[in-house]
Amino acid sequence: MSAATDWKAQLAKFIKIAAAADPELEKFAKANVAAIESAVAGRGPDASTAEPQAGARMVVNIAAVHVPAFCEASRRKEPKPYKNGYDLGNYRIGDPPPGESLKSREIVDRALPLQNKQRADNVYFGAVELNGAGIRFYGDVCLVLDRDALPGDTTVILDRNSYDLIRAPIREAISGKSPELQDQARKDEALKLRGIWDRDLGTMTGLKTLQALGLRARRYTTGQISEAVRDDEDYMEVLKIDSFGTDRLQEARISAAEAAHDALTGDRLRSRCAPRMEALIWRERRRRAEEELRRNRVRVRVVTTSGRTKD
């Protein structure tokens, strides 16, 4: 059985190898790591305390059409306003998959390195985000959780999507084992991806950023750090225990690109060039989503660039 990753040691090892004995690169790497850890913690340069609205957060992306129901459930104080795949058991068109469940999710969920014998159906998956608008593939509205919404000392984070456990190259490390050992091998691999929010987030994001941007004799900008922490579809996963409502949100974000699409639709209407119905529905649903979020006192922001937001 393998041990959990020592992220500080992992980071030091990476810098040492990547710097290739160049002291200049090593010094800049360490300074950049310090800047990354400050940014993730929400501290300004040389500041010792965090700003309340700044820093890395758990985010989830959701289609605008679901936001009103999420807000309504929050207002009603329902136990699970935000829902995971288990909660949404009937949310499907067509027939249910044959058999009890799909093997891939079962395999991954069995391997999740959860604390205190938590059950997979009570896990709400999110991504670590620093200033951006989250994983756009999963929805156009990015819900940003409050810093306090997560117990930092127990919340598990993974340094990548947990489904990487059944994709190359991690799966090759598992498939070589005999079938009766594969479950344990997968748990061992999952343990290597695991960290704890308070203890490991700064170091894990430091490592991810250095891996993405490479070592250089220059200081990283906040925008560069933000982009590297959640780079397109490459994200760090958060395994939040229990659902949440709008009262646990810091804000909601929409991307500048999609806000521009809304504006273009409006412009086409004004110029008597009727937009397509899909664009009109899209814009209307986003308008309603914003209306509902604001009704629940959630601020909606447009993210114009990584690390920079604008109301």
Pick out residues in 251-310 that bind other proteins (CB under 8 A).
261, 266, 269-270, 272, 274, 276-285, 287-289, 291-292
Q: Of these, 19, 166, 212, 259, which contacts other proteins (CB under 8 A)?
A: 166
Q: Of these, 28, 70, 197, 244, which contacts other proteins (CB under 8 A)?
A: 70
Mode of pairing for the β-strands spanning 123-129 and 57-62: antiparallel
Q: Please, what is the minimum distance in Å from the beta carbon of residue 191 to other proteins?
A: 14
Q: Which is nearer to other proteins, 28 or 82 (CB)?
A: 82
Cβ burial, residue 14 (10 Å; 0-12/13-18/19+): middle
Q: Of these, 92, 178, 180, 311, which contacts other proteins (CB under 8 A)?
A: 92
List C-alpha distances in Å: 226 to 11, 111, 196, 309. Answer: 18, 29, 20, 12
H-helix or E-strand containing 277?
A: helix 277-295
Number of residues that bind other proteins (CB under 8 A): 90
4 binds other proteins per the rule CB under 8 A: no
**How far is C-alpha 253 from the geometric centre of its chain's CA atoms?**
13
Within positions 35 to 64, which residues make up the interface with other proteins, using CB under 8 A? 60-64
Q: Please, what is the minimum distance in Å from the beta carbon of residue 130 to other proteins?
A: 19
26 binds other proteins per the rule CB under 8 A: no
Q: Of these, 32, 162, 209, 224, which contacts other proteins (CB under 8 A)?
A: 162
Q: How many CA atoms lie within 13 A of 103 on its CB side?
A: 2
Q: Of these, 9, 17, 47, 88, which contacts other proteins (CB under 8 A)?
A: 88
Phi, psi of 142 (to 5 degrees): -105, 115
Within positions 116 to 145, which residues make up the interface with other proteins, using CB under 8 A? 117-121, 125, 135-139
Residue 162 tokens, joined: 């947990």
Q: Of these, 110, 216, 308, 310, which contacts other proteins (CB under 8 A)?
A: 110
- Residue pair 189/165 in contact (Cβ under 8 Å)? The answer is yes
Q: Distance between CA atoms of 292 and 86, rounded to whole angstroms?
A: 25
Q: Which is nearer to other proteins, 68 or 151 (CB)?
A: 68
H-helix or E-strand containing 241?
A: strand 237-241
